[in-house]
Amino acid sequence: MATVTAPRIAPQPDHVPDELVYDYDMYNDAALNENAPDRLVDIATNAPPVFWTPHNGGMWFVTRFRLVTEAGRNWENFSSEPFTPEDMAAMMAQLPPDEQIYLPVPILLDPPVHTGFRKPLNLVFAPKAMMAMQDDIRSLAAELIEGVKDAGHCEFMEAIGEPMPVQVFLGMFGLPLERQDEFRQIVSDHLSEDFGEHADSQRQLRAMAKLMESTLLERRENPTGDLISRLWQTDVDGRALTLEDMQNYCILLFIAGLDTVMNAMGFGVRHLAANPALQAELRADPALIPEAAEELLRRYSFVVSTRRAARDMSFGGAQIKAGERVMLYNPAANVDPDEFPDPGTFDLHRENKAHVTFASGPHRCLGSHLARIEVQTLYEEMLARLPEFRLDPDNPVSYRCGPVIGPRAVPIRWDT
Ligand code: HEM
């Protein structure tokens, strides 16, 4: 279990006026916990477009679509690097000679260095490479659904939502399937904590790197067709990859691969289970499923983009100082009423579906092709293999808060 860190409440800085202070702890918000989809619409509608909260050491939130998109593209002002180059150099200087700083790449780098580190992943996550996995993904979905079909009920996350993307990812990565519970736990702990201390975060990232080290070294000597082997064969701006590079890539892919798609699936299945008419419409015309999956991704967005203000600036009505933490709150931006009329409503035929679930700008998600294939395939198989399914009225869905938001459990039932 994750140890819960003491809430770090920061004093309100002089440059933050009272009207921009909004009491929001993204790790522990009672309303988000109880009903994340509604709370996010509330934030996008009623909170200031850019607000400051004293929680978690004090941070800014950008909550509207246009501002989130603009900040996502403006990496010169909104840096993805958590430390300034000077702070980084000072940290490195203090390390014992055999230690390193683990820095998931390319997500914590700014261009132009980011561009060189992103290129190898662009190759391995290209749409064609992902499409080639669809048959295996479909077989896995079918197997998991058939495994619970006769029971007439299941807790969707435990039975299908978690194992499906985790198994797809571990297979693609060439990591041992029998260790999936251990891998999931370490990622889930990592995402449940706001690390006040850099050292705590490093401890967990190091643990992830160590978990994968033997596999990384093995694949360097004996390459197979898996993602780790293919990554070893790439280079960054003409330089061969080192073990340290591979660890930094794999930590990010490990976190992204093990704790993202399942949330999209949980939100999507919860919505379908609550809307039998939509299930009937999609069963009657499965060609509509990709469009429905896209609108579900918009309506239920769950990954936050974390930035550091690289300089003092005026943005969205706020004065932000260099070094302050800024959350580009994609989950709220996607339900901004100024961008999406009636944003809380799932509208299959919505004209504007250009969402920021996968972010915008240089860091937009590299796993989006894989994620889309997985969610679409899951919905196709669930709708084809199960009769009408519905939510369990005795067990309402609750949500896990943090930089990745998701349903904890989605109990569903159907007639057998
Ligand atoms: C529905 C599922 C997913 C969602 C909603 C999602 C969302 C995101 C978001 C919002 C970002 C940008 C973060 C930022 O701006 O700092 C991102 C980046 C990234 N995602 Fe995903 N992701 C998903 C699935 C995946 C999967 C399955 C993988 C790979 C196995 C993946 C790999 C990555 C990588 C490598 C980046 C970093 C890109 C860069 O920094 O250039 N994602 N993702």
Task: Quick: pLDDT tens for 25-76.
Answer: 999 999 999 999 999 999 999 999 999 999 999 999 999 999 999 999 999 9
Q: Is residue 54 part of a domain?
A: yes
Question: Could you tell me the residue range of the domain that residue 254 belongs to?
Answer: 18-414
Going by alpha carbons, the residue nearest to atom 24 of ligand 1 is: 367
Question: At 326, which helix (H) or strand (E)?
Answer: strand 325-328
Going by alpha carbons, the residue nearest to atom 30 of ligand 1 is: 257
Q: Is residue 10 part of a domain?
A: no
pLDDT score of 383: 98
- Summarize pLDDT for 253-262 with one digit per residue, the tens: 888 888 899 9
User: Which of 7, 230, 13 shows the shortest CA–CA distance to 123?
Assistant: 230
pLDDT score of 200: 67
Rg (CA), the chain: 21
Q: Is residue 8 part of a domain?
A: no
Q: Is residue 12 part of a domain?
A: no
pLDDT score of 7: 59
pLDDT score of 2: 36
- Quick one: how many helices (H) and strands (E) in the chain? 17, 14
pLDDT score of 3: 38
Ligand 1 atom with minimal separation from the 306 CA:
16
367 Cβ partners below 8 Å, 6+ apart? Answer: 125, 256, 257, 260, 261
248 lines ligand 1 (CB under 6 A): no
Q: Is residue 145 part of a domain?
A: yes
pLDDT score of 6: 47
Q: Please identify every stretch of the chain with a pLDDT value under 50, giving residue numbers as ranges.
A: 1-6
Residue whose CB lies within 8 A of the most ligand 1 atoms, among 227, 251, 365, 378, for a mutation test = 365
Going by alpha carbons, the residue nearest to atom 34 of ligand 1 is: 366
Total of domains in the chain: 1
pTM of the entire structure? 0.94
Q: Is residue 262 part of a domain?
A: yes
Q: Is residue 86 part of a domain?
A: yes
Q: Is residue 100 part of a domain?
A: yes
Residue 268 neighbours by CB distance under 10 Å: 26
261 lines ligand 1 (CB under 6 A): yes
Angle (nearest 5°) at CA 388 between 385 and 391: 115
Write the CATH number for 324.
Answer: 1.10.630.10
